[in-house]
């Protein structure tokens, strides 16, 4: 379960294994080993992933609700998702698993714009 969640978080962030590994302080080979379930993700790495990507341990262990995830590390505020945003996120998650790269890239850009716009409205900057 943790391996699947690590891959999911990395893909949602639009990061390569190398980029993801630098963010949490391990090698890209380690990320590959985790995602392919060659070795388990250690507790210390789970804590680093949770801290870096604002997710809970329960979520990584498959026991919690999905996070209101931010797709760009420079954006630190994520407003609660409305009905439309939840539908977009659900559609995106379905595509993440499907492997349709061009469509995923397009949706990733659209979701980033939506999140930035929502954050700006909530903070009163737009």
Q: Which two tokens stand for residue 10?
A: 């990395």
Q: At what angle do helices 17-24 and 28-35 cross, to 10 degrees?
A: 110
Integer Cα distance of 86 and 82 in angstroms: 6
For the cut 80, the answer to whether the pLDDT of residue 19 exceeds it is: yes
For the cut 80, the answer to whether the pLDDT of residue 17 exceeds it is: yes
The whole-number pLDDT of residue 32 equals 95
The whole-number pLDDT of residue 83 equals 76
Q: At what angle do helices 28-35 and 2-12 cross, to 10 degrees?
A: 130
Q: Which two tokens stand for residue 68?
A: 């209101």
For the cut 60, the answer to whether the pLDDT of residue 60 exceeds it is: yes
Going by pLDDT thresholds of 50, 70 and 90, the confidence category of residue 44 is very high
Q: Per the confidence metrics, is the pTM higher than 0.75?
A: no
φ/ψ of 102, rounded to 5, equals -60, -45
For residue 46, the surrounding DSSP H or E stretch is helix 43-53
**Total residue length of the chain:** 126
pLDDT higher at 50 or 29: 29
Convert the pLDDT of each residue in 62-97 to its tens digit. Answer: 887 666 554 444 444 445 667 777 777 777 767 666
């Amino acid at each position: 379960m943790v391996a699947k969640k690590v891959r999911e978080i990395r893909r949602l962030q639009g990061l390569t294994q190398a980029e993801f590994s630098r963010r949490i302080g391990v090698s890209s080979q380690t990320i590959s080993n985790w995602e392919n379930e060659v070795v388990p993700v250690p507790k210390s790495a789970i804590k680093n992933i949770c801290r870096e990507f604002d997710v809970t341990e329960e979520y990584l262990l498959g026991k919690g609700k999905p996070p209101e995830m931010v797709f760009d590390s420079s954006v630190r505020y994520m407003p609660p998702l409305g009905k439309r945003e939840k539908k977009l996120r659900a559609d995106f998650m379905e595509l993440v698993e499907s492997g349709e790269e061009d469509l995923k890239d397009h949706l990733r850009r659209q979701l980033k714009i939506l999140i930035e716009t929502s954050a700006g409205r909530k903070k009163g900057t737009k």
